[in-house]
């Protein structure tokens, strides 16, 4: 098992010498080995750490936290870490849900949030330059002020950074129109594991070297800034809500929309149960299982009650869910130019009508948009009830989408209750966003079932031709599946690691490296 085990807190390990040496690089004010900082940086939003925390356990806290103020300072910190053979974990805003910033061996957490400048916004060339530590919402605010948008809206936008997006190969909710972050990056700068500052351009001759760093999750270096493709702020939007007969009809409609050349920013299909308890976008309903921290308040209440009865009956609950009445809700939001949007709405509506969809008007789309960043931090009710919740998002070719959805449901059924929505769509395929909720007889049993849920789910994903992640990344939680994901090409990743981080100090244990 690559995932780090939790440890009783032992904060006395961090020597003051380390703090002093780093202070010489970044300044006294920008380094800390205080207990509060070390505890705060010992975990991110990986749900397993919450289960641990209930038992008074945390992952190994870092020895020290640094906040460098420039790429040069980052390079100096890395070179210092090389000289001392100390692990470095780059850190953005800590919103990752796979333990990507959880330290496997205690070392230095390098927070890049002080690198937060936007140095250029040029709509005439559609480019912006920004530093890696900038908060996503603040970046979008700067762009909006200039009449622009990045078009990148992960539900974590209030608590994630540009660097984190690049490191984890993030997708925004509108990626169907604007592309994922790897499509938006025209180049980036990073500090390698040897402390060298390297600039890459996506369109330079030879292989696209910027792509090596995108998705590398801090294992190859620290991303310090990027050049991004921006778009003009949309002039118009269109909204839709549709009821589709079932998942198959909905998935097929999504495929047809994107294969018709239409590019609505958002098309989300909720499975029968996600529709029933989440009610995605219906009047009076809250958003279904969405984002990092699990289901909404209403969903949580339901699940909490369900958990009591489902303690050993998740199979029955899942079987019930499979026959939930009411069909599937599909939400559409388009954005772009005035005329373009009119034509796009007409095209999307035609496909959905032909697929057997019944229009629910604009309200579901509007409601979804207004609440799209309403990430819930209310995990506690479920946890307090002795349960766990987590989410898994995978990318699939169209040929695999419907079958894999069913395979994961079946595989997880013995361990947890499952619901899902089909969250992003492209010409090439779609992503499915699963929400799991389960319980255990006691804390130990809970962790056993939590792990069993993930194992069953990811094994089914691998078998069904899906990928380990569409946008959350791998971190430590999925690291053990990387060889299954990559086969012989895992060797390429290991070779990259050896080349760019020969001392093995960069975020050890992540991505299976």
The pair phi, psi for residue 487, each rounded to 5°, is 55, -135
Distances (CA, A) of 83 to 88, 392, 497, 500: 12, 38, 18, 16
Write the interaction track for a copy of itself spanning residues 405-434; mark x where CB under 8 A is met and - where it is not: ----------------------xxx-----
Residues 176-195 that bind a copy of itself (CB under 8 A): 182, 186, 192
Name the minimum Å distance from CB 207 to a copy of itself.
4
Single out the residue of 348, 340, 433 nearest to residue 390, CA to CA: 433
Residue spans of beta strands (DSSP E) within 245-361: 266-270, 328-336, 358-359
Name the minimum Å distance from CB 14 to a copy of itself.
31
- Strand-pair category, 108-111 with 64-66: parallel
Name the minimum Å distance from CB 185 to a copy of itself.
11
Identified binder of a copy of itself from the candidate list 54, 79, 114, 199, rule CB under 8 A: 199
Q: Does 36 bind a copy of itself (CB under 8 A)?
A: no
Token representation of residue 4: 């780090």
Single out the residue of 122, 109, 168, 161 nearest to residue 138, CA to CA: 161
Helix (H, G, I), strand (E, B) or coil at 57: coil
The pair phi, psi for residue 404, each rounded to 5°, is -65, -35
Strand order, beta sheet including 197-201: 118-122, 127-131, 221-229, 185-192, 197-201
The answer to whether 92 and 110 have CB atoms below 8 angstroms apart is no
Write the interaction track for a copy of itself spanning residues 242-271; mark x where CB under 8 A is met and - where it is not: -------------x---xxx----------
Identified binder of a copy of itself from the candidate list 16, 56, 207, 325, rule CB under 8 A: 207
Residues 317-336 that bind a copy of itself (CB under 8 A): 336
Write the interaction track for a copy of itself spanning residues 441-470; mark x where CB under 8 A is met and - where it is not: --------------------------xxx-
Name the minimum Å distance from CB 45 to a copy of itself.
18
Single out the residue of 30, 32, 38 nearest to residue 16, CA to CA: 32
Identified binder of a copy of itself from the candidate list 16, 205, 323, 442, rule CB under 8 A: 205
* CA of residue 76 relative to chain centroid, distance: 30
Q: Does 212 bind a copy of itself (CB under 8 A)?
A: yes
Q: Does 122 bind a copy of itself (CB under 8 A)?
A: yes
Q: Which residues bind a copy of itself (CB under 8 A)?
A: 122, 124-127, 169, 182, 186, 192, 196-201, 203-209, 211-217, 229, 232, 255, 259-261, 336-337, 339-340, 343, 395, 397-399, 427-429, 467-469, 473-474, 478, 482, 485-489, 491-493, 495-496, 498-500, 511
């Amino acid at each position: 098992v690559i995932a780090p085990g939790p440890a009783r807190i032992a904060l006395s390990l961090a020597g003051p010498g380390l703090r002093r040496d780093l202070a010489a690089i970044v300044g006294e004010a920008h380094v800390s080995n205080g207990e509060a900082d070390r505890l705060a940086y010992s975990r991110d939003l990986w749900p397993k750490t919450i289960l641990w925390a209930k038992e008074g356990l945390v992952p190994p806290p870092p020895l020290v936290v640094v906040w460098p103020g420039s790429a040069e300072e980052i390079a100096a910190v890395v070179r210092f870490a090389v000289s001392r053979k100390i692990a470095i974990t780059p850190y953005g805003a800590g919103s990752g849900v796979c333990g990507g910033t959880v330290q496997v061996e205690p070392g230095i957490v390098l927070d890049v949030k002080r690198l937060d400048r936007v140095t250029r916004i040029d709509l005439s060339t559609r480019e912006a330059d920004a530093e890696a530590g900038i908060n996503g919402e603040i970046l979008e605010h700067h762009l909006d002020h200039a009449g622009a948008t990045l078009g990148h809206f992960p539900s974590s936008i209030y608590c994630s950074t540009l660097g984190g997006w690049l490191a984890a190969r993030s997708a925004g909710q509108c990626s169907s129109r604007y592309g994922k972050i790897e499509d938006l990056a025209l180049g980036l700068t990073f500090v390698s594991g040897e402390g060298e500052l390297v600039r890459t351009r996506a369109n330079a001759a030879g292989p696209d070297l910027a792509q090596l760093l995108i998705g590398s999750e801090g294992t190859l270096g620290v991303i310090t800034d990027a050049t991004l493709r921006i778009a003009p702020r949309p002039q118009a939007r269109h909204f839709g809500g549709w009821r589709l007969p079932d998942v198959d009809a909905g998935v097929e409609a999504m495929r047809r929309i994107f294969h018709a050349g239409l590019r609505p920013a958002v098309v989300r299909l909720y499975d029968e149960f996600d529709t029933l308890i989440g009610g995605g976008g219906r009047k009076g309903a809250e958003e279904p299982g969405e984002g990092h921290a699990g289901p909404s308040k209403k969903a949580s209440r339901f699940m909490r009650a369900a958990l009591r009865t489902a303690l050993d009956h998740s199979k029955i609950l899942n079987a019930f869910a499979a026959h939930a009445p009411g069909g599937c809700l599909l939400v559409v939001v388009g954005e772009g130019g005035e005329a373009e949007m009119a034509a796009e709405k007409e095209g999307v509506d035609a496909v959905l009508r032909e697929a057997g969809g019944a229009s629910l008007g604009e309200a579901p789309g509007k409601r979804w948009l207004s609440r799209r960043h309403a990430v819930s931090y209310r995990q506690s009710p479920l946890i307090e009830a002795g349960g766990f919740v987590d989410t898994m998002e995978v990318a699939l070719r169209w040929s695999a989408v419907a079958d894999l959805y069913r395979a994961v449901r079946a595989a997880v059924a013995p361990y947890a209750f499952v619901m899902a929505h089909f969250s992003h769509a492209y010409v090439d395929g779609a992503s499915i966003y699963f929400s799991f909720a389960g319980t255990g007889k006691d804390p130990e049993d809970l962790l056993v079932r939590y792990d069993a849920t993930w194992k069953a789910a990811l094994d089914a994903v691998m078998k069904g031709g899906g990928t380990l992640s569409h946008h959350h990344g791998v971190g430590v939680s999925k690291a053990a599946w990387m060889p299954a994901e990559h086969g012989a090409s895992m060797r390429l990743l290991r070779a990259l690691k050896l080349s760019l981080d020969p001392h093995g100090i960069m975020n050890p244990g992540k991505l299976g490296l």
